[in-house]
Structure 1
Amino acid sequence: MSRLSILILLLIVLSFSSALSELCNPRDKQVLLKIKKELGNPTTLSSWLPTTDCCNNWVGVSCDTVTQTYRVHNLDLSDLNLPKPYSIPFSIGNIPYLEFLSITGTPNIIGTIPPTITKLTKLRNLYIKYTNVSGQIPRFLSQIKTLEFLDLSYNKLSGNLPAWLPSLPNLVGISFDGNRISGAIPDSFGYFPKSFVMLSLSRNRLTGKIPATLAKLDVKFVYLSKNMLEGDASLLFGSEKHTRHMYLGNNSFAFDLGKLGLSKTLEGLDLSHNRLYGTLPKGLTSLKDLYYLDVSYNNLCGKIPRGGKLQEFDASTYAHNKCLCGSPLPSCKRF
């Protein structure tokens, strides 16, 4: 056998051996390459090559090595340098074992969320944020019963909050901050599953009062700042709840702050730029983990309770109220 024949045979063997050692499922690989093409072959995905293993060193791709199915289960399409505006590829729904999908930090992603995403029947975490995706939050997302966290923040979404969201049985949290969502918070939001810990709806155009049903919720993280909400938000509080963050600033809430029962686990509380009245609750002094507090720009009165961490915050925390006084503000003259 000639040297040339041996060399050719060796190359064939090496090529065959390489193909056998590839972990990536061929169907997943073809879908990923199609997604890359549908996004204009961005240089961010230059590692996605037909000749390489998608389970090894493809940016944003990871495969299931625990059960050794080696199916693609995580896909992170972040900060893509797209050459022009593109919609989310419809073929994204053809990765059947996907559990985590993130499309973030790419202003050139436009259009609406594709319905093919409902084919991802194992999807647990969906992040579409900091894009120019528009339209309403689609009802077909209610078909993905495996969803645990839904983050659609900082896009151009509009319409109302979907009343069907609490029907997702495994939902842990939602974040729709920084969109153009309008209307009232649905009554159904008081019936999220017990696993639910995060309600984040800041920087939208929400109006109306907090539904009475939300008094039933025991949510660790509540972010409703910078909307046009009004009325009594005291029902969100409770000494028996496990709230850690309560951010309600820049709304038109009006209630007696002094009558609040506060969660012992409270770490951050923003009630600034509202119409709150009464005194500061003495329960604030017993909050050992409180690191952020802002009650400025309200109608509060009376002496700031001494103790806990209340005197560690600067005067801006309490500024622009009706008649609050005491350290760190000037001393009280009448109280």
Structure 2
Amino acid sequence: MSLLSILLLIVMSFSLALSELCNPQDKQTLLQIKKELGNPTTLSSWHPKTDCCNNSWVGVSCDTVTPTYRVDNLDLSELNLRKPYPIPPSVGSLPCLKFLYITNNPNIVGTIPTTITKLTKLRELNIRYTNISGQIPHFLSQIKALGFLDLSNNKLSGNLPSWLPSLPDLYGISFDNNYISGPIPDLFASVSERFGFISLSGNRLIGKIPASLGKPDMKIVDLSRNMLEGDASVLFGSEKHTERIYLANNLFAFDLGKVRLSKTLGLLDVGHNLIYGTLPKGLTSLKDLYYLDVSYNNLCGEIPRGGKLQEFDASLYANNKCLCGSPLPSCKRF
């Protein structure tokens, strides 16, 4: 090979190195994460000789707005890991990360690593459908930028965290299908004004709903499949913008006929409780209502006529104390 050819190769290599967008530290961290996960084949596109910011690395996205490209989105979902691994501690070494997804990985085990607190710009943390365990760690309260926290479908235990109001931008939590127990703490009066989503379905929560849970104007509330009891009417209100309420399979007992409904309500599931009274007449004026389940309660009276109430299947009204009228059998007149 001639000297000229060698010089051309050197220049080309240098030019390629300069043209790479991926930050060298971020790239090294990603390769370390891959190693800590046993080098799964699903991350085979993570090759040291390619650019991690040119959309060729599966699950990796970079901030292309700022002059210095940094990894800001990491999706470690469906990795098909060959054996159990903990969440890679190295994820904490991506300082510009805003979104982290670790989902559908049954071979992810252990606890949430403390290194995650170094992700000071993290807005969304999604760890779902894994086998991580332990309590929801208090150190997550150090990530002040956190807006949405989804830790559903894992093996987490302990009580609901009392530090949630310390996150100034928090707008939603989802802890569905874990082993979280105890009462719902009385702390929701001081959560962010943006707080509009709470989903705690399929846990072991007990006791009554705190009055503070009725303070936020939440679009979605899911407390179904727990052992909660008492009055849940604080969750309703005509001044709110609630779209979906799931309270099924609990021990709630309150007069449903006295609640005032949000005009935007599209779904109301209160089946399998101890709820009494009549159906609220406001149900007939809900233009967005597409699902209603009041079955297996102690409701009485005639189902109001109008709106979409007669379109729902009779089974969604069944097994009440004395509920009647279309689509159930007509009320007896005496």
Q: TM-score range by the shorter chain?
A: over 0.9
Cross-structure match for 1:262: 261
Structure 1 letter corresponding to 2:49: T
Q: Distance in 1 between matches of 2:97 and 2:61?
A: 10
For the pair 1:281 / 2:286, whether they are aligned, the reply is no
CA offset digits 1:173-202 (Å, max 9, x no partner): 000001000000000133211110101100
Cross-structure match for 2:302: 303
Alignment of 1:118-267 (within 5 A): 118-267=117-266
| SS of match in other structure, 1:106 | strand
CA offset digits 1:216-264 (Å, max 9, x no partner): 2221110000000000101111111111111000000000111111111
Q: CA deviation at 1:167?
A: 1.4
| SS of match in other structure, 1:284 | helix
Paired residues of 1:163 and 1:189 also in contact (CA < 8 A): no
Cross-structure match for 2:34: 36
Alignment of 1:66-105 (within 5 A): 66-105=65-104
Alignment of 1:13-28 (within 5 A): 13-28=11-26
Q: CA deviation at 1:17?
A: 1.3
Cross-structure match for 1:60: 59
Structure 2 letter corresponding to 1:67: T
Q: CA deviation at 1:14?
A: 1.8
Structure 2 letter corresponding to 1:79: E
Runs of 4+ aligned structure 1 residues displaced above 3 Å come to: 3-7
Of 319-328 and 23-32, more deviation after overlay is shown by 319-328
TM-score norm. by structure 2 comes to: 0.98
Q: Distance in 2 between matches of 1:217 and 1:196?
A: 6
For the pair 1:49 / 2:47, whether they are aligned, the reply is yes
| SS of match in other structure, 1:163 | coil
For the pair 1:291 / 2:277, whether they are aligned, the reply is no
User: RMSD in angstroms over aligned alpha carbons?
Assistant: 1.0
Q: CA deviation at 1:5?
A: 3.4
Q: CA deviation at 1:10?
A: 2.6
CA offset digits 1:138-157 (Å, max 9, x no partner): 00000000000000000000
For the pair 1:272 / 2:239, whether they are aligned, the reply is no
Number of residue-to-residue matches in the alignment: 333
| SS of match in other structure, 2:35 | helix
Paired residues of 1:217 and 1:236 also in contact (CA < 8 A): no
Q: Distance in 2 between matches of 1:319 and 1:17?
A: 73
| SS of match in other structure, 2:260 | coil
